[in-house]
Amino acid sequence: MALIFRPEISAGTGVTALVTFYLTALFLFLIRFKRRKGSEKKQTLPLPPGPHGLPILGSLPFLNPNLHQYFADLARSYGPILSLRLGSKLCVVVSSPSAARQIFKDQDAAFANHATPAATLVYFRGSNLDLLWSPYGPHWRMLRKIAVHEILSTTGIEAVAPLRCREMRRTVEVVSARAKMGAAVDVRETTFLTVLNMMTSMLWGEQVGGSSEGAEFRRAIEGAVDILMAPNVADFFPVLAPLDPQGLGRRTKKLMLWINKFLGEIVEKKKRIMVSGERRRDVLEALLNLVESGNSQPPFSLDDLCKLLVDLIGGSADTISTAVEWSMAELLSNPKKMRTAQQELDAVVGKHRIVEESDIPQLHYLSAVVKESLRLHPPLPLLIPHCPSTHCVVGGFSVPAGTSVFVNVWAIHRDPHLWGEDAEEFKPERFLETSRQKRDFYLGRRKDEFCYLPFGAGRRACVGTAIGEKMVIYMVASLLHSFEWRLPKGASLELGEKFGAVLRKVEQLFAVPTMRLDTPELYL
């Protein structure tokens, strides 16, 4: 623009430049005006409808501990996009595929943040956030890329399949000891330990399940997750967050520092092994090389490494063990379907060898059992609350930046308009539809459908989807192939749900195994 004041420029050029200047200015003004109008329009759109609640407390006094069911009930009165205040915090709950699409597809970047709990922020104060809580941006992208390429790539997952197989064999041996005694097995506890050992074996080559330090590590992770789920005044009244009034932030910090110390020792041990020249080429070694190379941008530090390990272990153990427990519970209450799954296993695997992960692509019915179980009982029924970075519009309603947005996948998964009148029934067959179109619809593969979301969707979808699903199917397959299962004498099966860090069964599932394979060596 400074061009027009230069004397050496001819009159014609000067006029052209002047016109260009005015046109550019007009164009910029119009764009700004349009943008302002657009954002004003957004601001003036109403918030989604919802209960008024009480002054100051909002709907806090009316919350039902089973939050997913409470939100589903509210949606019946206020519709699939509703808002409510919990203290001073504005929350929006969506329970329809079209609203989910607007969040995870149309405005995915704006919604690609998780609403970080106040207690967690106390621990992270002054350091980088981890993968789970990092806002969408370069740091999150760097961590996510490392998780996807260095740890959870298809080849990476395949390379450590023998470790998962080893841990599953150990579990089958433990369960067979119970079978010999005619004793019941705590399905969730058994699978939780198996997943923990599978994950730590995959990450740094050792299991932690059996040792006393391992037990403490587990308690620390569970403790941190429990605090995450505890109602925290600081979340409902963010102005109080710096005071940490219930001390939940300080407790989280203490537990996380213990976990970091535990992991720090493992990292140091690994470094010593690497210096000695003995190489195992496991995930931890690859990650340490990445830290030392300084190649990643932004830099990947040792602190980031430990936090990533915690995310991967914390993100998998509860979700997978809960999914296995629900699958087994549904099969125990549907003995015919359990028989069908076992017949398939006998046809594909036979009774003279054990199940391998490579059998999974042939186990169509069993895969459908797991999918159906994740549909009825998604381990994270409200996903992890998302938090828009800018003012957004969903379904014609205003969703201001900073709102906590819950996507009620539990309600979407049980909507009879989407899944039919039998939506509440456990029916794996629905995932075996012969019509490709219907099958794709159910699996949520069709790009424009958001009906099946046990792992979320969009940029912030579960980073462990592939391995998570595989591990659940493999564990259920191994338990069903090696054993017959029945309830303990006199016990009855309930399928009540309890909302928490994950959606658990109200009563832990205990079941009695009996060995069903021909060769005793298959249990060793």
Least spacing, CB of residue 64 vs ligand HEM, in Å: 21
Q: Return d(Cα 474, Cα 358) in angstroms, integer.
A: 9
Assign 365 to helix, strand or coil: helix
**Nearest residue to 229 via CA among 361, 440, 345, 382:** 382
How far apart CA 260 and CA 250 sit, in angstroms, is 15
Question: Does 463 help bind ligand HEM (rule: CB under 6 A)?
Answer: yes
SS3 assignment for 328-363: HHHHHCCHHHHHHHHHHHHHHCCCCCCCCHHHHHHC
d(CA 499, CA 332): 22
**Residue 461 in contact with ligand HEM, rule: CB under 6 A:** yes
Positions in 365-404 near ligand HEM (CB under 6 A): 379-380, 383-384
> 3-state class of 386 per DSSP?
strand
Identify the DSSP state of 102: I
* 415 to 434: interface string for ligand HEM, x by CB under 6 A: --------------------
306 labeled binding residue: no
Burial 218-229 (b: 16+ CB within 10 A, else e): bebbbbbbbbbe
| Residue 315 touching ligand HEM (CB under 6 A) | yes
Residue 49, SS3? coil
Which of 516, 169, 487 is closest to 346 using CA atoms? 516
- Per-residue contact string for residues 137-156; x = within reach of ligand HEM by CB under 6 A: -------x------------
H-type helices in 45-117, by residue range?
67-78, 97-101, 108-111
Tokens describing residue 350: 């036979």
Only segment of 283-291, 452-460, 486-494, 511-519 that touches ligand HEM (CB under 6 A): 452-460
CB nearer to ligand HEM: pick between 90 and 112: 112
For residues 91 and 400, the answer to whether their CB atoms sit within 8 Å is no
Interacting residues of 171 by C-beta distance below 8 A, sequence separation 6+ = 190, 191, 193, 194, 475, 478
58, 209, 249, 468: which one contacts ligand HEM (CB under 6 A)? 468
Q: Please state, in angstroms and rounded to a whole number, the distance separating the CA atoms of residues 43 and 331.
A: 50
Q: With contacts defined by CB under 6 A, name the span among 118-126, 251-259, 267-275, 456-464 that binds ligand HEM.
A: 456-464
Q: Which of 187, 467, 473, 512 binds ligand HEM (CB under 6 A)?
A: 467
Binders of ligand HEM among 93-122, rule CB under 6 A? 114
Interface map 153-192 toward ligand HEM (x if CB under 6 A): ----------------------------------------
Kindly state whether residue 319 participates in binding ligand HEM, applying the rule CB under 6 A.
yes
- The DSSP letter of residue 428 is G
Q: How far is the CB of 319 from ligand HEM (least distance, A)?
A: 4
Stretch that binds ligand HEM, among 336-344, 417-425, 454-462, 493-501 (CB under 6 A): 454-462
Q: Residue number with the shortest CB distance to ligand HEM?
A: 464
- Candidates 72, 323, 363, 503; binder of ligand HEM (CB under 6 A) is 323
Q: Which amino acid is at 473?
A: I
Each residue 26-55 as x (binds ligand HEM by CB under 6 A) or -, in order, gives: ------------------------------
* Residue with Cβ nearer ligand HEM (111 or 485): 111
Rule CB under 6 A: which residues touch ligand HEM? 114, 131-132, 144, 311-312, 315-316, 319-320, 323, 379-380, 383-384, 454-456, 460-464, 467-468, 472
Binding annotation for heme:
462
